Amino acid sequence: MKKALIALTCLLVSGTTLTAQQAQTDAKQRRAQLLEQVNNMSEQQISDYISKHYMRVPAQKDKSRFETKALPQAKATGVKSLGVPEDAIFPIESDEVQAILMTWPYYAVTESGQQAEMYFEGLGTTEYYPSKLEAVTSVPLVQQGNSQVELFANLADGIQKHAQVWMVLHHEDDTATIKEYMEKRGTPLTNCRFFIYPTNAFWFRDFGPMAFYYGDDDQIGFVDLEYYGGRPLDDEVPIKIAKEMGYPVYTTGIEYEGGNILMDGLGQLFTSSAVYGNNQDSYGQMYLNADSTVGYYTKKPLTEQQVKDSLTDMFNLTDITVMPKFQYDGGTGHIDLYADMWEETGFVVSQFPEDLASWTDAKTAVKNIETMKGKEDYFGENFATVSIPFPRMNNGKWYASQSSYNQNYTRSYSNHTFVNDAIVQPVFYDTTKSGSQKGDVESNRQALNVMKLAYPGYHFEEIDVRSFDGYGGAIHCITKQIPAENPVRIYHQPVRWFNTADNGTVYNVAVLSQNKSGIESVKIKYRNTDINWFETLELTPQGDNLFTGKIELKSDKERDTLFYYIESTSKNGKTITKPMTAKRGGYYIMPYGTEVTGYNNSFAYDSVGEVSIRTVTSQEMENISEIYPNPAKEQVSVTLNNNQPLYYRIVNLKGQVMQTGKINASNGAVNMDVSSLKSGNYWVVFTDGNFSATRKLVVTK
């Protein structure tokens, strides 16, 4: 009897296995047949499908007609609900990366062959308002010569030259399909890792993970935000990648998209008011029932203050700036359509020209840029802004109206992606084409020349993105940075200009640099305009990640320029430069001399503007006393030798800003409250906006 039962069990298991294997074989055959059909479709048919099913913002549904249930605890919203580590550092996008996340456009049909939108794995519908889903089959679009497919192929190729491509695909056998396509076009994938998770769309900037560093070993973690309702597969991607990579992930029900997040890597966030609107409704993400019906999770609407408090908590912020959103940008209200940060002290902004100055969004842009310029950076100086041109139509003319632009274009040069020493750059021309399809070649090339000044030393990987016209996004919107392992961080306040008549000929350099293994050396490579080689100054370690040194400037020059960059090497053998593009000409530039009283960089339609003449000299900054008492518990004092206002930042040994303030004093001692700081070692950085001085602080409780 026992043997008979075993035999029967084996038969049942074998039958189950055969059934599963047959199902997999059948599904693979259906995908192969569909792939062949899709490859015979016209470019217009493909374009129509993508524009319908891959909208930047999903079609709004009347969610009240669906079944609902409360949001799971893992996605609960509320202030301090995440538990993100207190020492979390969210790097600036221009920091070193190990990879860039992206996906590929897919085509889906029902079993009857009707075009469909996939909502859950293998399930979708032809309807915009699905109440019950049916089986669908999806395949990657790999038509040779199709402009939208070529965009993704060029993107993958542009990324892999500078970092690994992390490509998310629906099925395991799709990897062979993509590889074959890339081989045939002459750009084989040589630096790519595949992840197999079905997705709803390709807007990875918005639903991809928000990565951060934490702990003494700079481990990587993810924050998983709530994505647009109606795209549940996309919403799960951060959790799936985190699990596969072994990264911890912190989930929240706060609805927020990455395209509306601009962070300086040091605790400041710039965003638009779209984040408020997204969290004022009571609906969350779509869910699936066992009978293939769908519903929506419900949640508590949040006030603006609750949203700000939650963002401050989940991103470990010291400051948040929420500005009015654009009204006519495809519906997102995202800040990445007109601004980015190329370093922690400044923005590059896309400025509307005078011809379009009457547009509602142009007026909003002017106000928002002024707001950004009025904020203080990590070192207490106002953020700098550099303007780049606004793209024109293919014929070189401006757009007839804002509504026409929104419906048909939404172009932006600033919607690009940093990949270490390169920028994957959207352009709007192609010299291999003819007539109007060639585009406005002259103005595109002029814009690229301006951007090469705004982003010195970067290699530009150009991609014609006109097939995305009217979609509400471009390269930045379909990619996401994954920060590098074992980061070497460098923080430095560049002096914008230096008057040697007032300040002498010694330029005091201070650098904060940190790595989990410790820092072996920090060097300054510098030269003047009349030599073409770099001299080396090895900075002196002062302890606790601070390094200082002195550069002797020429005393007989009315005007000269110091070009320099920083090179930091960790004890585990990793070397990083700052700027990262230094080896290709991306230097810090400091005009100096007896007649130098400011600086001016003119770009496109605007200029950075002259810096007002400072009244605090470098000698006065160096004469700031040591902090006392030290160690301290509640309050410390410092003696100043000038009567000008100074800003200060208290930073920990990883460079995180723990406290900020402003000192107004006249030649005497001033007090600072440090009672909120935990026990540990800190640096207090004093600055007048051009010069700085650093003093050590130890707090014991």
| Residue 11: pLDDT over 60 | no
Into which CATH architecture does domain 49-56+71-105+141-483 fall? 5-stranded Propeller (3.75)
Rounded to whole angstroms, the Cα distance separating 204 from 487 reads: 24
User: What pLDDT score does 603 carry?
Assistant: 33
In 3D, which of 269, 288, 229, 233 has the Cα closest to residue 253? Answer: 229
174-189 average pLDDT score? 97
Under a CB-based contact definition with an 8 Å cutoff, are residues 417 and 434 in contact?
Answer: no
- pLDDT higher for 597 or 215? 215
Token pair of 475, please?
């390269």
Residue 642's pLDDT is: 65
Contact indicator for 384, 369 with CB cutoff of 8 Å: no
Calpha distance 3→12 (Å, rounded): 14
Q: Say which residue, 77 or 584, is predicted with more confidence.
A: 584
Q: Which residue has the tokens 């669908």?
A: 136
pLDDT of residue 610: 31
What confidence category does residue 484 fall into, taking pLDDT thresholds of 50, 70 and 90?
A: very high
**Residue 602 confidence (pLDDT):** 37
Please report, as a single letter, which amino acid is at residue 503.
N
Q: Which CATH topology does 488-613 take?
A: Immunoglobulin-like (2.60.40)
Q: What is the dihedral of CA 222, 83, 199, 467, to 10 degrees?
A: -60
**Against a cut of 0.75, is the pTM above it?**
yes
- Phi then psi for residue 101, to 5 deg, are -85, 140
DSSP state of 534: -
pLDDT of residue 650: 87
The tens digit of pLDDT for each residue in 597-613 reads 876 543 322 222 233 33
Rounded to an integer, what distance in angstroms lies between the CA atom of residue 290 and that of residue 635?
61
Q: Which of 524, 502, 534 lies closest to 621, judged by CA? A: 502
Q: Lowest-confidence range among 181-190, 431-440, 567-576, 615-624?
A: 615-624
What are the residues facing 194 on neighbouring strands?
167
Same fold, 49-56+71-105+141-483 and 617-701: no
Confidence bin at 197 (pLDDT 50/70/90):
very high
Spatial CA neighbour of 477 closest among 136, 42, 223, 103 = 103
Asked if residue 178 has pLDDT above 90, the reply is: yes
Q: What is the mean pLDDT of residues 154-179?
A: 98
* 617-701 classified as CATH 3.20.10.10: no
Residue with more model confidence, 378 or 127: 378
- Model confidence at 662: pLDDT above 60: yes
Of all residues in the chain, what percent carry a pLDDT higher than 90? 59
pLDDT band at residue 12 under the 50/70/90 scheme: very low
Asked if 296 contacts 61 with a C-beta cutoff of 8 angstroms, the reply is no
Q: What is the tens place of the pLDDT at every residue in 506-542?
A: 999 999 999 999 999 999 999 998 888 999 999 999 9
Per-residue tokens: 389: 């041109």
What pairing do the DSSP bridges indicate for beta strands 546-552 and 506-514? antiparallel
Q: How far is residue 637 CA from its own chain's centroid?
A: 39
Backbone angles phi, psi at 646, to 5 degrees: -125, 150
pLDDT-derived band of residue 16, with 50, 70 and 90 as boundaries?
Answer: low
Q: Which pLDDT tens digit goes with each residue over 341-355? A: 888 888 999 889 999
Q: How is the chain split into domains, by residue range?
A: 49-56+71-105+141-483, 488-613, 617-701
Q: Residue 443: its pLDDT value, please?
A: 93
If one compares 59 and 420, the residue with the highest pLDDT of the two is 420
Residue 185 phi, psi (nearest 5)? -85, 0
Split at pLDDT 50, 70, 90, the class of 379 is confident
Give, to the nearest 10 degrees, the angle between helix 174-184 and helix 147-160.
90
Question: What is the predicted pLDDT for the residue at 564?
Answer: 95
Residue type at 181 in one-letter notation: Y
Residue 609 has what pLDDT? 29
